[in-house]
Amino acid sequence: MKPPVAVVVLAAGAGTRMKSALPKVLHPLAGWPMVRHVLENVRRLKPARIVGVVSPGAKDVAAAFAPHPTVVQRQALGTGHAAKAALGALKGHRGPVLVVYADAPLLTTATLQRLIDECRKAKAAVGVLGFVAHDPTPYGRLITNGGMLDKIVESRDADEAEKAVDFCNSGVMCLDGALIASLLGAIRNNNVKKEFYLTDAAAIARAAGHAAIAVEGDEAEFQGINSRAELAVAEKVMQQRLRAAALEAGVGMADPDTVWLAADTKFAADVTIGPNVRFGTGVSVGAGTEIKAFCDIEGVRIGRDAIIGPFARIRPGSDVADRVHIGNFVELKATRMGRGAKANHLAYLGDSDIGAASNIGAGTIAVNYDGYGKWRTVIGADAFVGSNSSLIAPVRVGAGANITAGSVITDDVPAGAIAFGRARQVTKKGRAAALRAKLKARAAAAKRAKKS
C-alpha cells in the first residue's frame, strides 16, 4: 500500500495588508473563513494527519483548525522555519508531506492530488506546483533541466536569463516524509532578509542526489490573498465556481452573476432562482422550489415545491416545509413553517411555529421580544390569522382557530375558536367637516407663530 499523506498548513502570516483586527486567514470567502476552504480541500485527500502552523497568541486561528492540532512558529523567520516547526507533529510519518498555505483557498483538491501522484511516480524528494504566469515579475522562478527541477530562484535574486523564465513558483510543495527533517535542517538563512526559505529545499535535494520535480497548474488556483482587493477578486472566482456547479446540478438561474452563494449551499434539482438573491451559510433547498428575486436567505432548510419571495428574508434557525409560500417583504427568524402554510405579504414571524396549511395575513407580527427575553408563538394547523394582527408571545393559537383582522392577541386561543382583540369602532355622523376646520386652524396658527 502507498504510505498516506500528511499536510502542513502554514497560517502564521501577519496579514498586515488586510488592515484588520481579524486575522487574515479568518476573513470570509463565500461565507467560510478562507482557512476552512483550504482545510476542506486537503481533507478530501484523506491525509493521515493535518497540522496547522500558527503565530504566537493566535488562539482564534488555532481554533479554526480543530480538531486538527496546531504548532506555534515562535519567530517569523520564513517559510522554511514555519515548516520546520511542524516536524514534531509529523514524527513517525514516512509518506509524502504536503505544505500548503492558509491564504490560498482557490487551490483545488484535484491539483494537490496530481502533485502527490507525480511525486510518487518520480520518487521525488521534492515536488513543487508551478504555473506559467501572465506577469512573472513578482514570483520566484522554477529553473528546470531535463525534466527535473534544479532550483527555485526568488525574483529579486534572479539574473537576466532566469528573469526571462515564466514558469513560476506557487509555494505549494510536496516533500518526502523520510527526508523532510534533513531537507529542512539544511536550509540556511544566508540571504538579505535573514529568513529560512522553504524554496531552498529543491536545490538541497538535487545537491544530495535526490529527484525534484515541478508540476504545472492553472495560475488562477494559486492566487494568494494579502489584501482586501485580492479577497474581493477571490470572491468573484469562488462565486463563479459555485454558480457553475449549481447550474451543472440542475439549478435554474435567470441571471447567475447576481446570485451569491455560500460554500455549503445545497440545492436539489429543478430549483429556480431569480436575480439578486443572496444565500448565507447553512441553506438547503428542496426540489422544485422557486426563489424569486431579491431574497436574502441564511441558516434554513427549505423543502420541496415552496415559493419564496420576492423580497423575502429568512434568517438562521428557520425551517420551511414543502409547499410553503413566503411572499414579498416577509421575514422569518428561527421560525418553523408547516407544510403548505402561507405568509404572502408584509409579515414578521420571529421565534414561531406555524402549523400546516395555516394562513398568515398581511401585516402580521409575532411580537417575540419584551425587552428582556425572546418568546415563542405557536399556531396550530389550518389556523387563519387576519391582516394587521399582533401576536404577543408567549402565546398559542389552536388548530383551526380564526384571528380577526387588526387584533392584538395576548392570551391563548383554543382550537376552533374565533378571537379578536381590538378597540370598538365609534362613528360620529356629520362631524368630519368640523374636525377638518379645527385641524386647519391649528396648522395656520402654528405657521403664523413660526413666522413671528
By DSSP bridging, strand 277-279 and strand 296-297 are: parallel
Q: Distance between CA atoms of 345 and 342, rounded to whole angstroms?
A: 9
CB 315 within 8 A of CB 297: no
Give the angle subtended at the CA of 268 by the CAs of 262 and 273, to the nearest 5°: 60
Q: Outline where DSSP puts E strands in 12-83.
A: 28-29, 32-33, 49-54, 70-72
Q: How many CB atoms lie within 10 A of CB 279?
A: 27
- Could you tell me the maximum CA-CA distance found in the chain, to the nearest angstrom? 107
Local structure of 28: helix, strand or coil: strand
Residue 368 neighbours by CB under 8 Å, 6+ apart: 333, 350, 351, 352, 374, 375, 376, 377, 393
CA distance between the termini of the chain: 97
By DSSP bridging, strand 313-314 and strand 331-333 are: parallel
Q: Distance between CA atoms of 198 and 192, rounded to whole angstroms?
A: 15
Reply yes or no on whether 81 is catalytic. Answer: no
Residue in the block written with cell 409560500: 325
* Cα 437 to the center of its chain, rounded Å: 60
- Side chain identity at residue 253, one-letter code: M
Q: Distance between CA atoms of 314 and 312, rounded to whole angstroms?
A: 7
Q: Active site residue: 37, 134, 210, 345, which one?
A: 345
Torsion (CA) 356, 357, 362, 366 in degrees, nearest 10 = -20
CB 149 within 8 A of CB 202: yes
Please, which contacts does 58-65 make with residues 24 or more away whose CB atoms are closer than 8 Å? 58/11, 58/12, 58/23, 60/23, 60/26, 61/11, 61/23, 61/25, 61/26, 61/35, 61/102, 64/25, 64/26, 64/33, 64/35, 64/36, 64/39, 65/9, 65/11, 65/35, 65/39
Q: State how far the alpha carbon of 82 is from the alpha carbons of 196, 249, 325, in Å.
A: 9, 41, 54
Q: Distance between CA atoms of 359 and 234, rounded to whole angstroms?
A: 43
Query: Which are the catalytic amino acids?
Result: 345
